[in-house]
Amino acid sequence: GAGVSQSPSNKVTEKGKDVELRCDPISGHTALYWYRQSLGQGLEFLIYFQGNSAPDKSGLPSDRFSAERTGGSVSTLTIQRTQQEDSAVYLCASSLGGTNPDTQYFGPGTRLTVL
């Protein structure tokens, strides 16, 4: 079956521009996560959506970062006024949600480069 997909796979932007990254989770998965991995670092949690509940935004590094999940499916991560330190691979994952334990399945990531 189809896994988690992300688009674009690569994005190069200039400092100060806004970018939108898209994630299509596995059908039927109610939980969706965004992470980023900077060079030489581990996976940094950004935001978590579970069904219709308010998202857990505790990992967002600044108010320039926001995310939406429309219709409980597709999610968009928006970074406003990008900075060079935003350069990273942004990973989306989904899981069935509502179960413990739960297992996340990752998309291929979007590599963001801010010049």
Nearer to another protein by C-beta: 64 or 105?
105
Residues that bind another protein (CB under 8 A): 4, 6, 31, 33, 35, 40-43, 45, 48, 50, 56, 58, 91, 93, 95, 97, 100-109
Nearest distance in Å: CB 34, another protein: 12
Nearest distance in Å: CB 3, another protein: 9
Nearer to another protein by C-beta: 27 or 39?
39
Lookup result for tokens 């109610």: 30
Nearer to another protein by C-beta: 72 or 108?
108
Burial class (CB within 10 angstroms; exposed 0-12, middle 13-18, buried 19+) of 111: middle
| Whether the Cβ atoms of residue 54 and residue 106 lie closer than 8 Å to each other | no
Question: In sequence order, what DSSP letters do the residues of 51-108 get, joined into one string?
Answer: TTSPPB-TT--STTEEEEEGGGS-EEEEE-S--GGG-EEEEEEEE--SSSS---EE--
Nearer to another protein by C-beta: 31 or 79?
31
Nearest distance in Å: CB 36, another protein: 11
